[in-house]
Chains A and B, each alone.
Chain A
Amino acid sequence: MKIIEACHLTKKFGELTAVEDLSLTVEQGEVLGFLGPNGAGKTTTIRMLSGIISPTSGYAWIGDYRTDGEIEHLHESIGLLTETPGFYEKLSARRNLEFFAGFYPNIEIKARVEKYLKTMGLWERRQSRVGTFSKGMKQRLALARALLHEPKVLFLDEPTAGLDPEAAREVRELVKKLSSEGRTIFLSTHNLTEAEQLCHRIAVIRTKLLAVDSGQNLRHRFFRREAVIRLDNPGGTVVEAVKKLAFVEDLREEADRLVLVLSEPDKNRPELVNAIVGAGGRILEVSEREHPLEEIYLKLMREEK
């Protein structure tokens, strides 16, 4: 079931087009990674989808609410982790959360604040001023704030930006946990590994939406699948035997490896192995070349230029 639907969203700031004709959908329970370079329109898209700014043209739905319509109800159903955590630094962590929780209907404020301070590992520091918190702690507190009203949809704008590796890992673990609870997460990030680890699908944006699909499908779309055979005895007879196979579309040798493009990889691989063994080849390893997401991302960026 679609829970986020953006239709031809465009946002212009004067002469500058920040987002152009963006259409995409996100299914309930899905984690969508939103990738793009600085100034690509990621934050602007999140702001439009969360109803904070209006699109110049186009529209979007989050669940039952149009983002330019019933903002109050829309905001009751979404959680937003902003690019900068933004707290009242002189007030305690608990007071900050109580304040934000106070805007939502039907919330047992104290219990809900306690629950999320504990979930984020900040309960012991609940009375401390937020000004004394580390970046990682503020980010966890911001996540707690985004979750206070238990929204179905979460917009996370670069949740690990500027965090040290340990803090970033903690935040990623929290996102995984939230995903396992069935929440829909729209995750803007620069971190390609993070996107690959956490997201079901990845959208790449540079003002326009360049691609949206699962990491695996994006690989297949931009690079042909390549089988890699590592041999104990690479050599002429094995290569000759492989060349004779009709389904081998391309073959190259890389040290002790044969890298092959097959017509139907899943179907052809057993025959390929038989042929190599039949030609006296001793196979050490059979694998498929995984193009890192970075290659796909850079390829998309180059194509767009």
Chain B
Amino acid sequence: MSRKRIINVLLKEWQFLFTDINSVLLVTLVPLLIVGQLILYVWLGATFAGESALNINIFQNALANLQSATPTVAALSGSEQFQVLLLSQFNLFMLLIPLMIAVSVATFSIVDEKLSGSLEALLATPVKTWELLLGKALAGAIPALMVTWICAGVFLLAVAIMGWGYLLGMVVTPVWFISLFLFTPAVTVLSFLLGVIGSSRARDAKGAQNLVVFVVLPVLALITIQVTGIIWFTTLSALLLALGIVLADVIVLRIAVRLFQRESIIVQWR
């Protein structure tokens, strides 16, 4: 029955989401802009900065890590090494797509129910809190994830079109796959759960968005520490991190259920 109820919530959320043109644009257009932006950075870096960029301290550390993880990179020209370095950031950069969708979609999930008055009727049905929250989180996370994967395809295509296809073998590594198919889904679900928590705790949509903006910060930190070479994700560390996030998903779902105070939501929000 739980699966049926979660799917019920999920289908309604999708129907609701896709009747709103702003949401549709957010889910389709914004991710493509993010990919376009990344391709532009790589092109600008390779064209105008080139080899000289590698003289910057922060990139030297990262390049050393990259060469250690993928020794064949050392055989490339300095400009090409810089390109591979930038292209390798793609999988972390892509995390911004589900995060942005989460901030904009998940934050409204409970607030809207309360403002429309439908939440009380919903809570009078046999739906359990965790089914409701998971349904809402998945309803945003699944399309966000699909779009992220499509964007990954678009990215690879764009790299090939730009004439950098020969570098893909050094970019599309096991870490890439772990990141895209394990780490990204786990982070996506996590960010949507955090979005739903924000939505259930805030008094209005704006307050919820303010809370959820903090979700983006750890991902930005993650990108920064990899670009600056403080850490470099190997297959093992990427796998461990991904499993850690999956565990965090389960814990955060439990926390979300605890924080979802039916009573205060029903009584105090008017």
Cβ of A52 and Cβ of B123 under 8 Å apart?
A: yes
Question: Chain B's interface: helix, strand, loop or mixed, by majority?
Answer: helix
Kindly state the separation between the CA atoms of A71 and B266 in the bound complex, as whole angstroms.
16
- Distance between B10 CB and nearest chain A CB, rounded to angstroms: 11
- Count of residues in A whose CB is under 8 Å from the partner chain: 32
Cβ of B117 and Cβ of A99 under 8 Å apart?
A: no
- Distance between B87 CB and nearest chain A CB, rounded to angstroms: 41
Q: Which residue of A lies closest to B8 (CB)?
A: A102
Cβ of B126 and Cβ of A84 under 8 Å apart?
A: no
Cβ of B121 and Cβ of A99 under 8 Å apart?
A: no
Which residues of chain B come closer than 8 Å to A80, judged between CB atoms? Answer: 120-121, 124
Which residues of chain B come closer than 8 Å to A214, judged between CB atoms? Answer: none
The contact of A86 among B20, B118, B128, by CB within 8 Å, is B118
Kindly state the separation between the CA atoms of A72 and B127 in the bound complex, as whole angstroms.
7
A75: Cβ under 8 A from any B Cβ = yes
Cβ of A50 and Cβ of B12 under 8 Å apart?
A: no
B48: Cβ under 8 A from any A Cβ = no
The contact of B16 among A54, A82, A88, A145, by CB within 8 Å, is A88
- Distance between A24 CB and nearest chain B CB, rounded to angstroms: 20
- Distance between A27 CB and nearest chain B CB, rounded to angstroms: 23
Q: Mark A67-104, 1 if CB is under 8 A from B, else 0.
A: 00001110110101010111111110001000110111
Which residues of chain A come closer than 8 Å to B162, judged between CB atoms? Answer: none
Cβ of B121 and Cβ of A88 under 8 Å apart?
A: no
Known: A99-B8, A102-B8. Is A88-B126 also a contact (CB below 8 A)? no
Q: What number of residue pairs across chains A and B have CB atoms under 8 A from each other?
A: 77
A162: Cβ under 8 A from any B Cβ = no
A142: Cβ under 8 A from any B Cβ = yes
The B1-35 residues at the A interface (CB cut-off 8 A) are 1, 4-5, 8, 12, 15-16, 19-20
Which residues of chain B come closer than 8 Å to A51, judged between CB atoms? Answer: 124
Q: Which residue of A lies closest to B262 (CB)?
A: A52
Cβ of A89 and Cβ of B116 under 8 Å apart?
A: yes
Known: A47-B266, A85-B117, A86-B118. Is A105-B124 also a contact (CB below 8 A)? no
The contact of A104 among B15, B16, B125, by CB within 8 Å, is B125
The contact of B8 among A13, A84, A86, A103, by CB within 8 Å, is A103
B119: Cβ under 8 A from any A Cβ = yes
Known: A88-B16, A102-B8. Is A82-B117 also a contact (CB below 8 A)? yes
Kindly state the separation between the CA atoms of A184 and B122 in the bound complex, as whole angstroms.
21
Which residues of chain B come closer than 8 Å to A52, judged between CB atoms? Answer: 120, 123-124, 262-263, 266
B267: Cβ under 8 A from any A Cβ = yes
Cβ of A86 and Cβ of B120 under 8 Å apart?
A: yes
Cβ of A100 and Cβ of B121 under 8 Å apart?
A: yes
The A11-67 residues at the B interface (CB cut-off 8 A) are 13, 47, 50-54
The contact of B267 among A53, A86, A100, A103, by CB within 8 Å, is A53
Kindly state the separation between the CA atoms of A103 and B123 in the bound complex, as whole angstroms.
11
Cβ of B19 and Cβ of A145 under 8 Å apart?
A: no
Cβ of B116 and Cβ of A75 under 8 Å apart?
A: no
Known: A53-B266, A99-B8. Is A86-B117 also a contact (CB below 8 A)? yes
Known: A88-B116, A105-B1. Is A75-B126 also a contact (CB below 8 A)? yes
The contact of A50 among B19, B119, B122, B124, by CB within 8 Å, is B124
- Distance between B19 CB and nearest chain A CB, rounded to angstroms: 5
Q: Mark B239-269, 1 if CB is under 8 A from A, else 0.
A: 0000000000000000000000011001100
Known: A76-B126, A91-B16. Is A54-B120 also a contact (CB below 8 A)? no
- Distance between A135 CB and nearest chain B CB, rounded to angstroms: 13
Residue from B15, B120, B124 having most chain A Cβ neighbours under 10 A: B124
- Distance between A254 CB and nearest chain B CB, rounded to angstroms: 49
Cβ of A86 and Cβ of B119 under 8 Å apart?
A: yes
Kindly state the separation between the CA atoms of A50 and B19 in the bound complex, as whole angstroms.
33
Q: 27 A-B contacts, Cβ less than 8 Å apart?
A: A52-B263, A53-B267, A54-B263, A75-B125, A78-B124, A80-B120, A82-B124, A84-B117, A85-B117, A85-B121, A86-B118, A86-B120, A86-B121, A87-B116, A88-B12, A88-B16, A90-B19, A91-B15, A95-B15, A102-B4, A102-B8, A103-B8, A103-B126, A103-B127, A104-B126, A105-B1, A145-B121
